[in-house]
Amino acid sequence: MRALELEREIYAATTPSCHNSAVLAKCEVRKQQGLYKEALAELSRVYTYALSGEQTSTYYTQRALCGYLAGEFDTALATIDEAACYIPRSELLILVEALAAGEKGDWQRSERAAKEYLALYPDDTLRTATIEELYRHTPSLRNPMTAYWLSLLPGLGQFYAGEVWSGVVSLVANGLLGGFAVSEMIVGQWLSGWIVGCGLLGNTYFVGQERARILTERRNQRLLRTHNDLLRDALLN
């Protein structure tokens, strides 16, 4: 009901400032409801040229925070960069920068922001030590396209992704199908060699390349999730 009331206020607003106040209030309602993408979308309705000083701070803080909560980490980081031209860096913006950069695997930017955040709590030595240890052991991410091209040799891309068993299966399956195709052609069975051997081989070969890419992406996501969950818990402790 509150969101509906605010929508009426938005359409009934007689000044840009009143319009912005209602939009920012509706964004807060959507955020409190856990509708982070919708909250972020509301901010696109703000008349930025008419923002007051307080509204400017609220606008950039909400855009960065809702971007992070919605999983739109590029938006959150770009907002923080833009906000530097208009408002002082707040504790919340510093925290969001550390977390969003971590989600992108940008450990240097994440660590810089985390150190800036921890400097606000100089007596919290235990938390500082915990976070410093996390940054000393950031996950090593692998390039999904490297896995894809390594799979020109069946199985190698899966090995690169850390999926040894999947790599063995790919290597054996492609080897057996390739061997069958060659043996059939040697004895003059060109049709069966081509259709059964080469046909299936082509399917497993290219599927194997794509699977290696996907497995590498999943590995990266898994490592990022584990590490960033620990980082978030430590920063928010």
Q: What is the mean pLDDT of each run of 10 residues along the chain (237 residues)?
A: 81 88 92 94 92 92 96 96 94 96 94 94 90 92 88 77 73 58 56 55 66 90 93 89
> Hey, where are the domains in the chain?
2-138, 144-227
Report the 10 Å Cβ neighbour count for 210.
13
The number of angstroms, rounded, from the C-alpha of 125 to the middle of its chain's C-alpha atoms is 30
Q: In this structure, are residues 92 and 65 in contact, taking their beta carbons and an 8 Å threshold?
A: yes
DSSP per residue over 110-145, as a string?
HHHHHHHHHTT-TT-HHHHHHHHHHHHT------HH
Q: How far apart are CA 169 and CA 111, in angstroms?
A: 40
Q: What is the pLDDT at residue 14?
A: 87
Q: In this structure, are residues 152 and 158 in contact, taking their beta carbons and an 8 Å threshold?
A: no
pTM beyond 0.85, yes or no: no
The CATH class that applies to domain 2-138 reads: mainly alpha
Q: What is the pLDDT at residue 47?
A: 93
Q: What are the start-end ranges of the H helices in the chain? A: 2-12, 16-32, 36-43, 53-69, 73-83, 91-103, 107-118, 125-136, 144-150, 156-160, 164-186, 190-192, 199-236
> Residue 156: which residues within 8 A CB-CB, separation 6 or more?
150, 167
148-195 per-position pLDDT tens digit: 888 777 777 787 888 777 766 675 665 555 555 556 556 556 555 555
Q: In this structure, are residues 221 and 121 in contact, taking their beta carbons and an 8 Å threshold?
A: no
- Of 47, 94, 214, 200, the C-alpha closest to 142 is 214
Q: What is the pLDDT at residue 155?
A: 74
- Of 37, 80, 98, 94, the C-alpha closest to 228 is 98
Token pair belonging to 159: 């090995």
Q: How far apart are CA 121 and CA 100, in angstroms?
A: 21
Token pair belonging to 28: 């807060």
Q: How far apart are CA 186 and CA 100, in angstroms?
A: 58
Token pair belonging to 135: 């940054």
Q: How far apart are CA 66 and CA 32, in angstroms?
A: 10
